Copies of this chain bind each other. A is one copy, B any other.
Amino acid sequence: MSTGTGNPMDVIESVSGLQSRADAYRSAGRRIALVPTMGALHEGHLALVREAKRHADGVWVSIFVNPTQFGAGEDLSRYPRTLEADLAHCRAEGVDAVFLPDAAEMYPPGSQTWVEVNELAKPLCGKSRPEHFRGVATVVSKLFLAAKPHVAVFGEKDFQQLAVIRRMVVDLGFDVRVVGVPIVRESDGLALSSRNQHLDASTRSQALSLSRALDSAQRALDAGIRAVPALLHLVAVELDKAPAGRIDYAELRDPDSLKPVGNPLDAPTLLALAVVFMLPDGREVRLIDNRVLKPQPPGSAFSEKQP
C-alpha cells in the first residue's frame, strides 16, 4: 500500500492546494493518512508516520505550530522549530506531502469560529490550560477539512488530546478514522517530547520521575495493590524525588470519559501526570506522561489488604 520512498515529496502551503490534492487522491481511489504535528519531529512522530503508512496509500504530515492552543505566558515563542530537519525526516520516511501553512492561512483575517469539546476538555491539562483544547479541536478540524484524510494518526502521549479528538470526530461526524499510537520512550523511560530538548542534564535526569512513577504504580497493581490512595502515594513518592519539579496534576481517571474513578481500581485506569520543571536559568518546561494501568484479575496476584 505504501508509495515507498521513490516519489518526490511535495510541500503545500495553502488549504485550497491541499484540498485539490485530496480530491484528486480520492477520485483515484487512493487513501490518505494525515499525521498532524507541530514540527520538531522526533522518533515519536516517526512512529506515527510509520503507523499511518499501514492505513493509506499516501501519508501527509502537517507541520503547524498552532498559536491558539498556547495560553498567555506559555511557550509559543520558544516552541522548538526545526523545519529543515523535519522535512528531511519526512523525506526519509517516504512521506508523500507536507502541509506547511502559515498562521494567516489557518486563521483567515476576522476569524471568529471555534470548535469546542466540553466535558472532556475540562480536567487534567484543561484545568491549567483552559483554552488549550479549544485550540486543538479547532485546528484539527481545519486540518481535517483541508486534507480530507481517511485516517488520522495521533500519539497516545497526549492522551487527553486524543480523547478530545475522538469525541469531536464522533460528535461532528467527521468521516475520518482516528488511530492512536503508543508512547515512544528513550531507553531510560523518558517519553519523547519536542520539549525535552529544553532540558539540561540535571533536569532531564529528574524528568525520569514521571515514567518511574507510572511504572511504580503498575508494579503495585501487579502486586495486588488496588487502593487509590496507596497508588497515588507511590506516585507522589517518585515525583517528589525531582526537586526541580512542581506537580501540576497526578490523577487516576477513566480512560474513556476521563472522569474520576472509584476506589479500589477494578478496571483499566488512566494514570495521567503533568510536572512543571524549573530549569537552572529560571525558565519552565512542562512535561506530561501517562499510562493506562491494568489491575490484575482478583486472585491472580497477592490479594490486596484493605486498611
Q: Which residues of A contact B (CB under 8 A)?
A: 15, 19, 23, 26-27, 29, 106-108, 110-120, 137-138, 141-142, 145-146, 148, 167-168, 170-175
Contacts and interface: CB of A to CB of B under 8 A. Distances in A.
Given A15-B173, A145-B174, A175-B145, A167 B116 contact: no
Contacts of A117: 112-113
B108 A114 contact: no
28 contacts: A15-B173, A19-B173, A26-B26, A26-B27, A106-B173, A108-B170, A108-B171, A111-B171, A112-B117, A112-B118, A112-B171, A113-B118, A113-B137, A113-B167, A113-B172, A114-B115, A114-B116, A114-B118, A115-B115, A115-B116, A116-B116, A138-B172, A141-B172, A142-B172, A142-B173, A145-B174, A145-B175, A148-B175
Q: How many copies does the complex hold?
A: 2
A100 to B, nearest CB: 15
Contacts of A167: 110, 112-113
Contacts of A175: 19, 145, 148
